[in-house]
Amino acid sequence: MSTPLAASRPAIAHGMRLQWEAAQEAHVLLYPEGMVKLNGSAGAIMSRCDGVRTLAEIVADLERSYGVTGLKGDVEAFIELALRQRWLELRP
């Protein structure tokens, strides 16, 4: 991961809304043209992308919450995918 991404604070992109959808038992990402149903891991990551926490803080929180280590690579890969899909934006 590049240094700017490591120091950035990912946030849900403008025009998108993340919410828990009880009927689907999953987090969904809503946007004007539709909806994306997220799997459990994606929902856990996206729910922490608040524009305040750095990527390192998000990884640490996930590792603490799930009692595991070594999530950095997977979280980075998902964040990069979400940026390409324009689900997330980076804040300084």
Residues 17-46 have pLDDT tens digits of: 999 999 999 999 999 999 999 999 999 999
CATH number of the domain residue 56 falls in: 3.90.930
For 41-90, write each residue's pLDDT tens digit.
999 999 999 999 999 999 999 999 999 999 999 999 999 999 999 999 99
Q: Is residue 91 part of a domain?
A: no
Which of 35, 10, 5 lies closest to 20, judged by CA?
A: 35
Q: Is residue 59 part of a domain?
A: yes
For 64, the domain range is 3-85
Phi, psi angle pair for 37, to nearest 5°: -85, 125
Phi, psi angle pair for 26, to nearest 5°: -160, 160
Task: Note the pLDDT of residue 6.
Answer: 77
Q: Is residue 90 part of a domain?
A: no
Torsion angle defined by CA atoms of residues 55, 58, 76 and 32, in that order, rounded to the nearest 10 degrees: -90
pTM to 2 decimals? 0.91
Q: Please report which confidence band the pLDDT of residue 92 belongs to, taking 50, 70 and 90 as the band edges.
A: confident
Q: Is residue 52 part of a domain?
A: yes
